[in-house]
Structure 1
Amino acid sequence: MSTPSGIGFTQEQLDDLRERLENKQSRISTELKRLEEEELPNLYRNEESNDGYGDDAKNDQIRQRIVAQIKRRRSDLEAVRAALGRMENGTYGVDQRTGDFIRFERLQALPTARTAI
């Protein structure tokens, strides 16, 4: 890996990016909690079924969709935590392949970016 080249970030830029990441972490955590503690458990409550077959198939589809959303949110949360960890250890904003700095504009658009475009 090459030595980082280019200009580093100002403290103001890093603070802005940290705030974006922390806000994103909070939003994802709230959504994940809602999905895991409300949506999924409530799926089978208060359901009245005549024969059970149609509702079971529908509930299975809904359950699969909720589980997929939970997996995506967990992955998103891990990416945010990893980005915050890179901030702590001083490697945030460094392309993990080339070692060059990632442009600030890219990090504004995608604060969890690990590579430059």
Structure 2
Amino acid sequence: MKFSALLSLVVVLLIACHKEDTSPSCGCEAKPYRELVNEKVAYLGGGYFIGPHGNSRTFFRLCDTTLIDPAWKADTAVMGATGQIDTTKFVFRITGQLKAECSPPGATSFFPEVSVFTALRIVRE
């Protein structure tokens, strides 16, 4: 009887002391879902970049816009007329973490999904 009471007390204490993960699931403070290491990308302006992702492309927004050099020129000609990416326009190399962007519940978009990016390094070639 004493053993089962002690066991019950231990179980209750373990459950009561369980710390719930309170980190956000999206936005710049969220956990990353993909690491980028020395990836070539193009700057689209306004803190937005585009990079290849297999046969598709990844759009992302820089979390810390103070890292953007005002001398950087946006290259909106990255997408050719056929919708193919012109990789010769990828003149930046970046290292950092991609994270999920926060969208309002139930929102649908006609635009490609945009991630947020926490940069560790951005270098113009």
The verdict on a shared fold, with TM-score over 0.5 as the criterion, is no
Larger Rg: 2
Smaller-chain TM-score range? under 0.3
TM-score normalised by the chain length of structure 2: 0.26
Higher RCO (CA-CA < 8 Å; seq separation 6+):
1
Higher helix share goes to which structure?
1
Higher strand share goes to which structure?
2
TM-score normalised by the chain length of structure 1: 0.27
